[in-house]
Amino acid sequence: LKWIKTQILNCPPQVLISDGVELPLFGKNITVQRTSDCKTKYCLSDKRLTVPKTSSDFKNQIKMVLINLAKEFFSEQCYKYSKELGVTFSEISMRDPKSRWGSCSSEKKLMFSWRLIMAPKEVSCYVAAHEVAHLVHMNHSKNFWEVVSSIYPDQKSQRSWLRQNGKKLHKFIF
């Protein structure tokens, strides 16, 4: 009972995505807005992510932009790390799992939580390196961690960030 209360108290307050709300992108807070000035699917600057005024649901527009940004980012990172290791993957997909940040299947399919696009870039790079390393070792053996370290040496601090802050990425309600 005490553990349950502690877990509930440690849950960050939920944030409903709406026009003008702040959310992190690569770990830096930006404001999401809808504007008639944006003529493409989205407009991104250091402080703002805007989407055009359409009949689409605003929350869904923002979510789709984040998913697309995540897919682009993870494709680029996974290509880089797989080239470094001399391995290939068959597919990359974005999902919204509650308990995993990424996975690698025996069919060489890589899956990532699109919510990682909100984490600092280094954290997402680590997760990409971690999943690509599974293309070499489909386990968490000493050899696996050596492969991870060979392509992403600073993995311990990124793992620590995820353990301490990962739940906060799920507080945003789309």
pLDDT in tens, the chain (174 residues): 888 887 777 777 899 999 999 999 999 999 999 998 898 999 999 999 999 998 889 999 999 999 999 999 999 999 999 999 999 999 999 999 998 999 999 999 999 999 999 999 999 999 999 999 999 999 999 999 999 999 999 999 999 999 999 999 999 999
In angstroms, the Cα distances linking 46 to 22, 53, 101 are: 12, 21, 25
3-state secondary structure of 43: strand
pLDDT score for 141: 98
pLDDT score for 2: 86
Pairwise CA distance, residues 166 & 174, whole Å = 17
